[in-house]
Structure 1
Amino acid sequence: MTGGRKDGRARLTRPEGATPVVVLVRPQMARNIGTTARAMANGGLYDLRIVAPRDGWPQADAYPAASGADVILDDAQVFDTVEAAVADCHRVFATCPRPRHIVIPVRTARAAAEDLREIASRGLRSAVLFGPERAGLENEDMACADTLVRYPLNPEHMSLNLAQAVMILAYEWWTAAEVTPPRALMTNETRVATKGELEMFLNRLVGELDATGFLDNLEKRPGMVRNLRHWFQRGEVTEQELRTLHGVVTELSRGRMRRGRPDVAAPWTEPGADGI
């Protein structure tokens, strides 16, 4: 799936390989079907099937809510029963707030996404059932499924609308194969400074602080220097940030000399060090 177009419709293409089918069972509002398509597009899901929609299908009101994911609505298939909607599937999952006295495997959304990825890797088709907005799936609907999916949310308020429920599963499906590092430092046009560069700055800073008399308390000096070093060492300071700090120290040193305190620590001579 790729980016949007000028007409507001997303340029969506069917992903390669098998992806889970989203099955909406007796949805009641066109807007909810549209926002479901939007959630599907965000998670890289394409196949939408609708079972016995209350107001029929297609419904014009669904399209504005899809936020450009029109092709998912255009290609949606409509069925009279759940059995017909999943007849060509090899595995069927059903979202359910609580199991109802049945013996069946239960997964969180994350575990279900992992299972769905494994199923797709074998070229098998899977489906996930989502029930009507008000009451959810009925026992007869869940009888078509071999696995239940429950979302571990706040037990005092486990209330999701249809699109939110689809979005959670779509997100887990997408991130199960996503290669983006979970943590990163954006450095733009600079880079992380080396320990050597950081040590050079710290030595210069301590020298200037000695020259100003800030570290004259010999009893406290080791702890104060150690705190300064820990402060800079625990983060990934960039090369540009060090240049800025060198510029700050240079100006402080010049100010001290203008005030008649000529004691100067080791000079800083690297080109551009005064620039910010």
Structure 2
Amino acid sequence: MTGAGTDRTKTSLSGGPAIILVRPQLAVNIGMCARAMANFGLSDLRLVSPREGWPRTGALKKGANAAAAGAVHLLEAAKLYDTLEEAVADLNFVYATTARERGQFKPILTPSEAMPEAARAIAAGEKRGVLFGPERTGLSNDEAAVADVIVTFPVNPAYASLNLAQAVLLVGYEFMRAATGAKAPFVADPGSPPAPREMVLSFFDYLEGELERAGFFRPIGKAPVMRRNLRNIFHRLSLSEQDVSTLRGMFVRLVEGPRAEKKAATEAEPQSEADDKG
């Protein structure tokens, strides 16, 4: 299953820090972590002693694949390790995520503080990884001790527990922001070009002329202010050529009434009814 935002025609990003799930408990959560990784171009998934093993067949695999929602390639490429030490052996720097103060005298950063530096280091050729503990207990003190830096999330202190995939998502998001300059992945199609001032002024002349005939600008002494206010309303809209054409056409119809062919058809209906009765 894939989501509405999945586009296989576009180049998929890859790289980033290794995402290391230590003793994850549920295959479906591993699948959701893979989906979060795919959202933000992370491609190195490492599993340390998952409780249910790492399912390659059966119902557990089916559940994990469904939760991955199109990121099955990350599950299939995931590396499985027996120990945390093996999982981090090739890394130059490790972050440990936790919701609790560990008293380990390590730097404590939020993802928004940690990931920009991680992005710079990875771009320079370093290998970095982020540890995530099991869903129920989080990382042990000994596991957190393997890391260089503690990463924690600015959450409600009375409810600091995050779903495993949510934690991966937040780290991935901050890494993507840092690596891409926080730019939106696409820009709006401008469609119609901005309306030239001549076109806008002509529209104002038409509209104000019709409003004048309808007695809108009253009392007369306030007419200049009312005209300025009216024009400023439209100026704030940054009108395109299509906008001006649509607005003008709309007001023309309100002033002139139904189009001629519709009016003629409406006027002909009573005569037709009279003929039927005759």
User: Taking structure 1 as the reference length, what is the TM-score of the superposition?
Assistant: 0.79
Find the aligned partners of 1:195 and 1:146 in 2 and give their Cα distance: 60
SS of equivalent to 1:177: helix
Contact in 2 for aligned 1:193/1:239 (Cα 8 Å): yes
How many Å apart are 1:163 and its aligned residue?
0.8
How many Å apart are 1:14 and its aligned residue?
7.8
Q: Report whether the alignment pairs 1:48 with 2:45.
A: yes
SS of equivalent to 2:179: coil
Find the aligned partners of 2:122 and 2:197 in 1 and give their Cα distance: 46
SS of equivalent to 1:129: strand
| Equivalent AA in structure 2 for residue 130 of structure 1 | F
Find the aligned partners of 2:186 and 2:12 in 1 and give their Cα distance: 30
* Aligned residue in 2 for 1:95: 97
Deviations 1:163-204 (A, max 9, x none): 11111111222232336449955444x233244433332233
| Equivalent AA in structure 2 for residue 49 of structure 1 | R
Partner of residue 143 from structure 2, selected from 130, 136, 141: 141
| Equivalent AA in structure 1 for residue 226 of structure 2 | M
Partner of residue 133 from structure 2, selected from 128, 131, 146: 131
* Aligned residue in 2 for 1:191: 193
Q: Report whether the alignment pairs 1:34 with 2:31.
A: yes
* Stretches of structure 1 lacking an aligned partner (at least 5 in a row): 256-276
Deviations 1:75-131 (A, max 9, x none): 111112222211110010111113222322222222222122111111010000011
- Alignment coverage as a number of residue pairs: 248
Q: Report whether the alignment pairs 1:223 with 2:232.
A: no
* Aligned residue in 2 for 1:160: 162
Find the aligned partners of 1:199 and 1:165 in 2 and give their Cα distance: 54
Moved over 6 A (4+): 10-14
Partner of residue 16 from structure 2, selected from 15, 19, 36: 19
How many Å apart are 1:11 and its aligned residue?
8.8
How many Å apart are 1:47 and its aligned residue?
0.6
* Stretches of structure 2 lacking an aligned partner (at least 5 in a row): 258-278
Contact in 1 for aligned 2:24/2:50 (Cα 8 Å): yes
Find the aligned partners of 1:15 and 1:253 in 2 and give their Cα distance: 55
Aligned pairs for 1:81-120 (under 5 A) are 81-120=83-122
* Aligned residue in 2 for 1:239: 241
| Equivalent AA in structure 1 for residue 227 of structure 2 | V
Find the aligned partners of 1:213 and 1:12 in 2 and give their Cα distance: 57
How many Å apart are 1:235 and its aligned residue?
2.1
- Higher helix fraction: Structure 1 or Structure 2? 2
Q: What is the alpha-carbon root mean square deviation over aligned residues?
A: 2.8
SS of equivalent to 1:38: helix
Contact in 2 for aligned 1:12/1:69 (Cα 8 Å): no
Q: Report whether the alignment pairs 1:67 with 2:64.
A: no
Find the aligned partners of 2:78 and 2:10 in 1 and give their Cα distance: 14
Partner of residue 176 from structure 2, selected from 162, 174, 177: 174
Find the aligned partners of 1:12 and 1:212 in 2 and give their Cα distance: 56
Which structure's CA Rg is the greater one?
2
Contact in 2 for aligned 1:51/1:82 (Cα 8 Å): yes
Quickly say closer, same or farther: Cα 1:15–1:228, change in 2 above 3 A: closer
| Equivalent AA in structure 2 for residue 233 of structure 1 | H
Find the aligned partners of 2:73 and 2:110 in 1 and give their Cα distance: 29
Find the aligned partners of 2:128 and 2:83 in 1 and give their Cα distance: 17
User: Taking structure 2 as the reference length, what is the TM-score of the superposition?
Assistant: 0.79
